[in-house]
């Protein structure tokens, strides 16, 4: 049995198709029976045809300013509230709640996902209990890396807020991402937290990974942007805060704590244990730092450590060592 009919009035929806403008005729959905919280006669959004909204389940397009077209589908018990634009082969099903959002170009939203005031575009899958909130942008693109078939995914209990996630990135587990930029094949998972702010985002790029209970925290000063790149990883209980750039296969774990001023860690450096690093510090090329070691550059000074060496125990470094001193 059909739960709605299409109204007689036609609304022309204008949208941009590349450089040309395109017009799609839409008709309004009108309930013909009572179901869920809908009563017969209730008017909803506007659709291109009946393939846009399933008659099965309790799915409904609540807002009269919402539109669904371009072979997009709303199914199951999905709820579409506030003005939404759903188009171009997007698929929304399960018990999802999409509120004031734009979903398009092959995006797939399923299970118990919540999307609020955000834009999701491209071939991706958002599922589980994931949430995409507060003007986030999810822009999926395949074929930019050797993993041509990998698609962008956000799932589990992950939350993305006020962030931009692009290409083939993966966010899952109980990860919390706020004011961040995540691109290419980067991964954020487990209980990891990326905490940017209205001035500075956290950046996780390329094939970098943040996981375990690790935290990356942006500051509010100029350039206080934690940046993780080129297959580097931050894991376990490590905390990276402020102006820190970490790149080229660096591994930071344990209970390490880095506070930028600025800090650059580059080229297969391993930092573990209860290490503390702060101030203007450059560490590069196959250095291992463990245990309770402290590297601290005081105001107006800088420290440069380079070359294959181990810094461990209770060593405390406050200035660049003389050649051969380590």
Alpha carbon of 82 to those of 12, 60, 66, 153, 221: distances in Å? 20, 12, 7, 25, 37
pLDDT at 143: 66
Helices (H), the chain: none
Dump pLDDT digits (tens) for 171-211. Answer: 999 999 999 999 989 999 999 999 999 999 999 999 999 99
Label the pairing between strands 20-31 and 4-17.
Answer: antiparallel
Dump pLDDT digits (tens) for 16-64. Answer: 766 778 889 999 999 999 999 999 999 999 999 999 999 999 999 999 9
Beta-strand runs (E) in 162-252: 164-167, 170-171, 176-178, 180-182, 187-188, 193-195, 202-204, 209-210, 215-217, 227-228, 233-234, 239-241, 244-247, 251-252
pLDDT at 300: 84
Mean pLDDT of the chain: 93
pLDDT at 322: 52
pLDDT at 324: 43
Dump pLDDT digits (tens) for 282-324. Answer: 999 999 999 999 999 988 889 999 988 999 999 999 888 755 4
Dump pLDDT digits (tens) for 65-80. Answer: 999 999 999 999 999 9
Distance CA 315, CA 304 (A): 16
Q: Binning pLDDT at 50, 70 and 90, where does residue 325 land?
A: very low
């Amino acid at each position: 049995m059909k739960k709605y009919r299409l109204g007689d009035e036609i609304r022309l929806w204008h949208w941009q198709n590349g450089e040309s403008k395109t017009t799609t005729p839409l008709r309004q959905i009108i309930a013909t029976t009572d179901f869920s919280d809908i009563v017969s006669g209730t008017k909803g959004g506007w659709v291109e045809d009946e393939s846009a909204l399933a008659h099965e389940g309790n799915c409904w397009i609540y807002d009269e300013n919402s539109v669904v077209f371009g072979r997009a589908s709303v199914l199951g018990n999905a709820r579409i509230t506030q003005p939404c634009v759903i188009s171009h082969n997007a698929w929304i099903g399960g018990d999802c709640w999409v509120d004031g959002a734009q979903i398009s170009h092959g995006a797939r939203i399923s299970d118990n996902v919540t999307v609020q005031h955000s834009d999701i575009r491209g071939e991706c899958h958002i599922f589980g209990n994931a949430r995409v909130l507060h003007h986030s942008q999810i822009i999926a693109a395949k074929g930019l890396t050797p993993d041509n078939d990998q698609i962008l995914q956000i799932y589990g209990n992950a939350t993305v807020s006020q962030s931009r996630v692009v290409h083939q990135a993966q966010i899952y587990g109980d990860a919390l991402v706020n004011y961040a930029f995540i691109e290419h094949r980067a991964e954020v998972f487990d209980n990891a937290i990326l905490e940017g702010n209205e001035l500075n985002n956290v950046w996780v790029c390329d094939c970098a990974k943040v996981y375990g209970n690790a935290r990356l925290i942006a500051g509010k000063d100029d350039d206080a942007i934690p940046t993780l790149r080129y297959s580097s990883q931050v894991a376990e209980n490590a905390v990276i805060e402020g102006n820190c750039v970490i790149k080229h296969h660096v591994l930071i774990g344990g209970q390490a704590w880095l506070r930028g001023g600025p800090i650059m860690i580059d080229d297969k450096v391993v930092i573990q244990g209860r290490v503390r690093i702060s101030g203007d510090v450059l560490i590069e090329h196959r250095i291992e730092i463990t245990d309770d070691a402290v590297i601290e550059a005081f105001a107006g000074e800088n420290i440069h450590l380079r070359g294959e060496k181990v810094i461990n125990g209770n060593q405390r470094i406050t200035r660049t060592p003389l050649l051969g001193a380590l």
